[in-house]
Amino acid sequence: MPRISPTGLRPLPLARRTGRLPRRPRRTGWRRLVPTWRLTLLGLVTSLLLGVGLFALGMIVVKVPDAHAAATAQSNTWVYQDGTPIARTGQTNRQNVGLDKVSPAAQHAALAAEDRNFYHEGAVNLKGLTRAAFNTATGSTTQGGSTITQQYVKNTYLTQKQTISRKVKELFISLKVDATQSKDEILAGYLNTSYYGRGAYGIQAAAQAYFGVDAGRLDAAQGAYLATLLNAPSAYDVSTATPKGKQAAIDRWNYVLDGMVQQNWLTADQRAAVTFPQVREPKSAPGLSGQAGYLVGAATDYLTSHGIVTDAELARGGYTITLTVDAEREQDLQDAVQQQLTDNLSPDRRKKDADAQAGAASVDPKTGAVVALYGGSDATRHWVDNATRQDYQAGSTFKAIALAAALDSGARTQNGVRISPDTLYDGTSGRPVAGGTGTPYAPPNEGGTDYGRITLQQATDWSVNSVFAQLAQDTGLEKVRQTAVALGLPADTPGLAAHPSIPLGTATPSVLDMAGVYATLDNDGQQITPWIVKSLEHEGEQVKLPAPETAQAVGKQTAQAVTTMLQGVVSDPGGTGYRAQALGRPVAGKTGTTDNSRSVWFVGYTPELVTSVALFGQDPATGAQVTLDGVGGVSAAAGGKFPTQVWTAYMKSALAGKPISDFDGSSADNPLLSGPSGDSAATATPSGGTAPGTPSPSATVPSATASPTATPTGPGGDGTPSTDSSPTSRPTATRPAPTRTATPGPNPTTQPTTAPTQPAPGPTGQPGGRAQSAG
């Protein structure tokens, strides 16, 4: 009987009963027919087939996922027209480039450091992967054994976790990627997704961060250093590493170069000549402070509003945006604002100075390219871009548009006299406009000055409101609006409507908009919408940009005639823009000062360049529009003061060394600058007649001197220096015309007649509205 186990449930094993090992059980049945070695082989084959089945199942089940956001997110790089960096935007400092944009030396260095057999091996290093998996499972120190393909898969599709499940996924995804992508594509992906330290993802960002060059210009020494960083970015940054870390970096660098020699990517002689590269000190990525934020904002708006890219596409990054902005002229503009305005402001001592906000834009009139932009003191503190905002009235800078509308349409006065620079108008302040409907519009002149009968040229030089209100009525208010749009103002510009006050600048275009309008006049009437993006590149590929929009807005003779008239604003000693004479070049332009001096402007141009400068009054606490009177210690703000001074200082620097040239076209040959024969004998009688004692809005076209019925104190607030205290301090006003006889202006020593008593109507033509002051 067999012995019973202590539990009484089963017999004890034979070995415990006898102390001897049991015999091998005798094979019975079919097993007697199969040799032992064949059973072993069958087991191996079964296991192999099972493994193959599991592998096949893995290849079917494990899909190549979409690249995760961290791997695809890139920064956008914004640069000046010459490639100088402006800013980098985006959470990830990455800029993907094609392999053709990476130097061969840098490619070989990466291969020498990470996977020298990359082009001759499969996707997976089974030996290295097994070792890494075993170490992970046993808790030993993690050790990589991955090919470049595996590292690319890990960077792009997986996480950096050292787990068995992640390793298994890495295996299958790597095999699939290797089967569907070329070796060059995989290497490019690896170089673009690897982290190099200093916040730089990808070799392009790393090349800029460590050497200030593009990846295509990396030499062997630089490429070997970047390859060194792949092993331990922070520890091997020689600018910040410990002495031990620096030595380790140098050792690794030498290892990479030696590997390049072994692979015949570098000759021994070339290797001997290589020295350790000069690594740049780390610095923060270009941010959006100062003018950078305004430039990036304007370029972004241009790209999205023209349907070139969407906000979502920009957010994904990978773009290099080259602006038309000239780095030197951008600095010139900043310096001009600083020297002519900011240095004269003391907000701590004079609270009013905190209300001043400056904006400026400079445009090439021949191409429409924006060459400089000033959006405010700092984009990180003052968020609104003063160069593109559309909430402040343009004031008398709009009068240039009214001139263009009148001359281009062949408009006539109320009594049928064709309008020209010599046409006489009544410049009495507050005189009701003749020819309109409803309540007569009767805007006052700046300071209530009565000018009497003056020419349109004199009214332009001195920015006389009453004359331009009548001019717009004679031309047609809708015609003035249409001309504004044709010259370049957006049709949806706030306040741009055909109401009686339109010529006085009740619309609120941006500084950049007005630069575009004046660029059209400078460009012989051909309108080119200002543009700010020179080129766009996405991951090394050029993105096609639309050609700038162009159209003939007004006739060439019209544009040249308006230019000649606007030259008088500057060259007339009594003109509102006389300070711009200091440029020492032919200048045409117009000042603007709005109601209560909430904004003051000067938009001027030479044959080579157009620049618009404005100063806006804004309460820093509430954002409300406030007067600029008192800013900088100047009691009465005006466009002929700070804006003209900034304009002149900037243009001096921007045009330094450029030849001085005259505006094209001879004024003597332009029929728009004089009335047709017979007009000089005509007398002006407004439609419907005039009330007893009310002067006519226009009279004859004089052949020589205009004799005003009343003599003013001067051309208005825009041109008056802050130190002027009496009308006698202003010189006699004369009309400048290069090839025409000058028309003497009124005697500034004579006191004005009575000031107006009727308030100016608003945009609807009803009394009591706000009026625009003189330019």
CA–CA dist 284, 6 (Å, integer): 79
Instruction: Using alpha carbons, list the distances in angstroms from residue 409 to 401, 482, 558.
Output: 12, 11, 9
Instruction: Using alpha carbons, list the distances in angstroms from residue 130 to 51, 134, 146, 151, 226.
Output: 16, 6, 10, 15, 28
Where residue 507 falls among pLDDT bands split at 50, 70, 90?
A: very high
- Nearest 5°: the CA angle 114, 118, 120 is 150
pLDDT at 563 > cutoff 90: yes
As a whole number, mean pLDDT of residues 328-357 equals 97
CA–CA dist 76, 311 (Å, integer): 12
* Least confident piece of the model among 67-71, 267-271, 717-721: 717-721
**Residue with the larger pLDDT of the pair 32 and 769:** 32
Bridge partner list, 362: 372, 611
Show the tokens assigned to 574.
């009594």
Show the tokens assigned to 411.
């408009």
Tell me, what's the pLDDT at 609? 98
| CA dihedral sign of residues 17, 18, 23, 28 | negative
* E-strand stretches of 504-654: 526-528, 533-538, 541-543, 550-552, 588-593, 599-605, 610-617
Burial class (CB in 10 A: 0-12, 13-18, 19+), 555: middle
Half-sphere exposure of 13 (CA within 13 A, CB side): 7
Half-sphere exposure of 93 (CA within 13 A, CB side): 19
CA–CA dist 380, 293 (Å, integer): 7
Average pLDDT, the chain: 80
Helices (H) and strands (E) counted in the chain, each on its own, are 22, 16
CA–CA dist 321, 536 (Å, integer): 5
CA–CA dist 59, 72 (Å, integer): 25
Q: Which amino acid is at 54?
A: L
Per-residue H/E/C for 353-371 = HHHEEEEEEEECCCCCEEE
As a whole number, mean pLDDT of residues 319-341 equals 97
CA–CA dist 98, 206 (Å, integer): 15
Tell me, what's the pLDDT at 394? 98
- pLDDT tens track for 385-410: 999 999 999 999 999 999 999 999 99
CA–CA dist 396, 593 (Å, integer): 6
Tell me, what's the pLDDT at 749? 29
Q: What share of the chain is helix, strand, coil (3-state, %, to 5)?
A: 40, 10, 50
Count of Cβ atoms closer than 10 Å to residue 747 Cβ: 13
- Strands 93-94 and 200-201, how do they pair? parallel
Are the C-beta atoms of 404 and 676 separated by less than 8 Å? no
Q: Which residues contact 633 (CB under 8 A, 6 or more apart)?
A: 344, 350, 722
Are the C-beta atoms of 483 and 401 separated by less than 8 Å? yes
- pLDDT tens track for 192-249: 988 898 888 899 999 999 999 999 999 999 999 999 999 888 889 998 888 888 999 9
Bridge partner list, 200: 93
pLDDT at 54 > cutoff 60: no
Q: Which amino acid is at 19?
A: G
- pLDDT tens track for 455-506: 999 999 999 999 999 999 999 999 999 999 999 999 999 999 999 999 999 9
Are the C-beta atoms of 743 and 457 separated by less than 8 Å? yes
Q: Which residues contact 312 (CB under 8 A, 6 or more apart)?
A: none
- pTM over 0.75? The answer is no
Half-sphere exposure of 291 (CA within 13 A, CB side): 26
Instruction: Using alpha carbons, list the distances in angstroms from residue 666 to 333, 560, 675, 722.
Output: 32, 8, 16, 36
DSSP for residue 713: S
CA-based R_g, the chain, Å: 39
